[in-house]
């Protein structure tokens, strides 16, 4: 109303009203008009002193609001350590936790601005700061309403998200009408503050509407994906890695992460034989998720307790996932103690593989030199454990874990919860933007003895750059192409970028070797799989050498028997005779592996299928032992017979 009834500049000479020249301020210092006179509101009001009373009341209410709430808000901001150099003001005093330090800071700021002695100079930017605050509050209300969170229950009777949106837009427009350059400065400051908080990632949980948005976005995407028909072009290896506690087998977790990183689903499967209390389950889950986050592994954690490993793993395979976000590949560690473990443990491990095939899932078995189980190794930076963490450790001493390649329980008393590399604390001052130099990472056994370097290298082998070499792919059977796809994905990772693929095929006796090799090379080209060489392997049915056969017989010697009571736990003569050709084939392939792939960076081979009722657990594990023993890192993988490679013609 004032703007509509008042001119911008005026001379104040009433005699100029007749010719309308009172707005001509050329060469004249105009003291009137809305731009020049601070008494416009008083002049237009019915009762001038009422304007002064209103200004006094507004100033008093703003001061009281600031006194009551702003200091507490600033104190909370300091306690969250969102910005460097402000934690000093987080300290409270007395029973009411009064932020006296914030009071002193505010008084100092007010005095500094009062010393300017010309409040009109800072009025535009102060006004824009207030307008920006109101705009952000309105937009936050709109955002919270759009997410439809049950926790968003505004008490204002006449609240409407459209009114909030209009209010936010009006505040933004007023900012630019007031002073466009201070509006730009305000927006730049807000963007920089938000960007700093985003990259700093403070350890604070506010329950903001952005968290609700994450939920609704994920829910909508999962629902849409569940009704989308699957296509070979959209196939992704979604892995359920049966590793037990993730910190017990870092190589297995890191290898699975190398395949799925920023591309597909990774679920850490943990089976515990003993039934756990809710407290223990929550604690194990929390620590496992914390370990994954600290090691920058984007994956989920799933726990099954109260069942033997075979049944628990089947439960995970059947129930883990949501809609199309469901594992299609089960990854295990090789059971290195299969010869010495209890028969029940060996049988449970064997059942995991059988259950996966029964459920039409792909299966992978990884073996590396030195094994995969490093639960006896801890990482330590010589930091004092938090009292809360120590108390939780003490309360979890009765927990035990059943791992993927060993059903033997490993006490949680021997596992430190901080099996991760803690980031160095930064200072709270301005220098806190730069982290302190990290000391060399030191690994120790639970006994306190230092871990040899070779053990550390084996434990971290899949997190470091692999030297120049080859990934040898032995594609023995048509499993849909997964045996070729997995190593191809690995070559696209930075750790394996210096490794090229060599693909081995079994030659068909009825065809010419050269033409068969050209045909397979053309096939890989149509699949758009980059490779350095294609090698045809003849004479795979040739009898194995006596030395190889002798080693195998020695390997299975203690398991050969004819006891009906131990069916499935012993290898009968009838079974050996019925599977003689398959056994010879595996022995022959071992000889070829030693001949061609002994120096490879990694070997990927098609996994033999454990036919139910045909092969026993000891014989099947003996096959795997024979194929993978004394060789580079070895992945046995078998697809579910569903095509995973698109054909380009």
Euclidean distance between CA atoms 436 and 451, whole angstroms: 25
For 523, phi and psi rounded to 5 degrees?
-65, -45
Which helix or strand (DSSP H or E) is residue 362 part of?
strand 362-367
Mark whether 416 and 480 lie in a shared domain. no
**Angular region, 296: left φ>0, alpha ψ -120 to 50, beta rest:** left
Residue 498 contacts residue 470 (beta carbons within 8 Å): no
- Give the lowest-confidence range in 234-248, 440-454, 473-487: 440-454
494 and 601 both lie in a single domain: yes
**Tokens in use for 410?**
């490993």
Q: Are residues 217 and 327 in the same domain?
A: no
Q: How does the average pLDDT of the chain come out, rounded?
A: 80
Residue 642's pLDDT band, with cuts at 50, 70 and 90, is confident
Query: Among 211, 399, 381, which residue's Cα sits nearest to residue 287?
Result: 399
Q: Is residue 433 part of a domain?
A: no
Whether the per-residue pLDDT at 407 is higher than 50: the answer is no
Please state, in angstroms and rounded to a whole number, the distance separating the CA atoms of residues 355 and 309.
Answer: 11
pLDDT of residue 171: 93
As beta bridge partners, residue 469 has 499
Residues 224 and 323: their CA atoms lie apart, in Å, by 9
**Residue 609 or 441, more confident:** 609
Domain boundary among 179, 198, 228: 228
Has residue 137 been placed in a domain? yes
Q: 337 with 371, same domain?
A: yes
- Identify the CATH number of the domain in which residue 558 sits: 3.40.50
Query: What is the C-alpha separation between 511 and 333, in angstroms, rounded?
Result: 38
Whether residues 500 and 591 share a domain: the answer is yes
Q: Are residues 455 and 501 in the same domain?
A: no
330 three-state secondary structure: strand
- Coil, strand or helix at 426: coil
- Which pLDDT tens digit goes with each residue over 206-222? 777 778 888 888 888 88
Specify if 516 maps to a domain.
yes
- Residue 365 clears pLDDT 60, i.e. is over it: yes
Does residue 163 lie within any of the structural domains?
yes
Answer whether residue 196 is part of any domain. yes
> Hey, which bits of 434-498 come out as E strands?
442-445, 469-474
The domain that contains 388 carries what CATH number?
Answer: 3.40.50.620
The residue from 164, 198, 228 where one domain ends is 228
Cα–Cα dist 495/465, whole Å: 4
Beta bridge partners of 505: 536
- Identify whether residues 323 and 387 lie together within a single domain: yes
Q: Is the pLDDT confidence value at 203 over 90? A: no
In angstroms, rounded to a whole number, what is the distance separating the alpha carbons of residues 640 and 233?
16
pLDDT tens string 97-156: 888 888 888 888 888 877 877 777 788 888 888 899 899 999 999 988 888 888 888 888
Are 442 and 566 contained in the same domain? no
Q: Say which residue the tokens 């009433």 belong to.
A: 14
Return d(Cα 552, Cα 336) in angstroms, integer.
Answer: 16
Element (H, E) at 510: none
Give the per-residue pLDDT at 405. Answer: 35
Mean pLDDT of 516-529: 81
How is residue 453 written in tokens?
């370097």
Tokens of 501: 């693929």
> What distance in Å separates the CA atoms of residue 81 and residue 429, rounded to the nearest whole number?
10
Q: Which residue has the tokens 């079974």?
A: 575
Position 378 pLDDT exceeds 60: no
State the DSSP string of 296-323: T---EEEEEESS-HHHHHHHHHHHSSBT
Q: Are 470 and 532 contacting, i.e. CB atoms less than 8 angstroms apart?
A: yes
Percent of the chain residues past pLDDT 70, beyond the cut: 86
Of 90, 7, 69, nearest in space to 44 by CA: 7
Q: Of 199, 228, 257, which one is at a domain's C-terminal end?
A: 228
Higher-pLDDT residue of 545, 14: 545
Each residue's pLDDT tens digit, 152-173: 888 888 899 999 999 999 999 9
Please report whether residue 420 resides in a domain: yes
The reply to whether 378 falls in a domain is yes
Statement to judge: residues 197 and 319 lie in one domain: no
Mean pLDDT in residue range 532-548: 84
Taking 90 as the threshold, does the pLDDT of residue 80 lie above it? no
Residue 548's closest CA among 577, 579, 595, 587? Answer: 587
Supply the pLDDT for residue 448. 66
Residue 93 lies in a domain: no
What pLDDT is attached to residue 187? 93
Q: Are residues 320 and 362 in the same domain?
A: yes
Taking residues 608-615, what's their average pLDDT? Answer: 84
Structure tokens at 122: 């800072």
Alpha helical stretches, state H, 492-545: 513-526
Residue 611 has pLDDT above 50, yes or no: yes
Interhelix angle 580-596/546-556, rounded to 10 degrees, is 120
Both tokens assigned to 563: 């006891």
What pairing do the DSSP bridges indicate for beta strands 300-305 and 329-333? unpaired
Claim to verify: residue 240 and residue 301 sit in the same structural domain = yes
Q: How would residue 5 be classed by pLDDT, with cut points 50, 70 and 90? A: confident
First-residue to last-residue Cα distance in the chain? 74
Handedness of CA 116, 121, 123, 126 (dihedral sign): negative
pLDDT bin (cut points 50, 70, 90) of residue 56 is confident
Number of domains observed in the structure of the chain: 3
Residues 622 and 569 in one domain: yes
Domain span holding position 255: 234-425+438-459
């Amino acid at each position: 109303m004032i703007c509509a009834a008042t001119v911008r500049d005026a001379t104040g000479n009433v005699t100029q009203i007749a010719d309308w020249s009172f707005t001509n301020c050329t060469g004249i210092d105009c003291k009137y008009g809305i731009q020049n006179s601070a008494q416009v509101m008083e002049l237009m009001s019915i009762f001038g002193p009422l304007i002064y009373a209103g200004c006094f009341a507004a100033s008093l209410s703003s001061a009281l609001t600031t006194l009551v709430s702003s200091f507490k808000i600033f104190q909370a901001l300091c306690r969250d350590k969102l910005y460097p150099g402000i934690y000093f003001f987080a300290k409270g005093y007395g029973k009411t936790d009064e932020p006296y330090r914030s009071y002193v800071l505010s008084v100092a700021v007010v005095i500094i601005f009062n010393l300017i002695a010309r409040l009109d100079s800072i009025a535009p930017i102060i006004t824009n700061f207030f307008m920006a605050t109101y705009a952000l509050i309105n937009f936050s209300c709109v955002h919270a309403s759009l997410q439809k969170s049950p926790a968003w229950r505004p008490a204002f009777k006449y609240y409407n998200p459209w009114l909030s949106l209009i209010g936010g837009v009006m505040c933004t427009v007023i900012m630019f009408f007031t002073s466009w350059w201070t509006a730009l400065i305000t927006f730049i400051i807000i963007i920089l503050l938000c960007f700093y908080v985003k990259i700093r990632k403070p350890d604070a949980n506010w329950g903001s509407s952005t968290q609700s948005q994450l939920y609704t976005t994920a829910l909508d995407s999962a629902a849409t994906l569940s009704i989308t028909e699957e296509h070979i072009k959209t196939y992704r290896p979604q892995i359920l890695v049966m590793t037990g506690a993730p910190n017990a087998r870092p190589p297995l977790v890191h290898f699975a992460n190398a395949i799925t990183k920023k591309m597909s689903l990774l679920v850490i499967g943990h089976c515990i034989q003993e039934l756990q209390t809710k407290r223990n389950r929550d604690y194990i889950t929390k620590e496992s998720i914390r370990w994954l986050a600290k090691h920058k592994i984007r994956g989920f954690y799933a726990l099954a307790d109260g069942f033997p490993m075979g049944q628990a793993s089947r439960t995970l395979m059947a129930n883990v996932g949501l809609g199309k976000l469901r594992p299609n590949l089960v990854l295990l560690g090789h059971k290195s103690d299969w010869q010495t473990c209890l028969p029940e443990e060996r049988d449970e491990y064997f059942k995991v593989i059988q259950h996966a095939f029964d459920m039409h899932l792909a299966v992978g078995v990884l073996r590396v030199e030195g094994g995969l189980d490093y639960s006896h190794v801890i990482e330590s930076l010589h930091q004092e454990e938090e009292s809360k963490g120590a108390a939780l450790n003490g309360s979890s001493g009765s927990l035990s874990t059943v791992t993927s390649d060993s059903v033997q329980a490993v006490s949680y008393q021997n596992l430190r919860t901080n099996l991760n590399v803690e980031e160095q604390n930064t200072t709270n001052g301005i220098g806190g933007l730069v982290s302190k130099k990290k000391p060399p990472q030191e690994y120790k056994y639970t006994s306190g003895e230092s871990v040899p370097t070779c053990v550390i290298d084996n434990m971290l082998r899949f997190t470091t750059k692999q030297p120049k070499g080859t990934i040898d792919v032995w594609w023995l059977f048509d499993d849909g192409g997964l045996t070729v796809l997995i190593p191809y994905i690995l070559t696209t990772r930075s750790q394996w970028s210096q490794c090229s693929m060599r693909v081995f095929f079994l030659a068909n006796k009825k065809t010419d070797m050269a033409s068969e090799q050209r045909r397979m090379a053309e096939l890989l080209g149509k699949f758009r799989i980059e490779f350095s060489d294609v090698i045809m392997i003849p004479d795979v049915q040739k009898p194995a050498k006596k030395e190889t056969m002798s080693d195998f017989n020695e390997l299975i010697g203690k398991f050969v028997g004819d006891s009906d009571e131990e069916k499935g736990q012993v290898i009968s003569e009838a079974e050996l005779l019925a599977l003689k050709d398959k056994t010879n084939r595996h022995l022959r392939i071992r000889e070829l592996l030693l001949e061609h792939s002994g120096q490879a960076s990694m070997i990927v081979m098609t996994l033999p299928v454990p036919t139910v009722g045909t092969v026993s657990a000891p014989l099947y594990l003996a096959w795997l032992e024979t194929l993978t023993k004394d060789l580079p890192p070895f992945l046995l993988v078998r697809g579910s017979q569903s095509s995973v490679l698109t054909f380009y013609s």
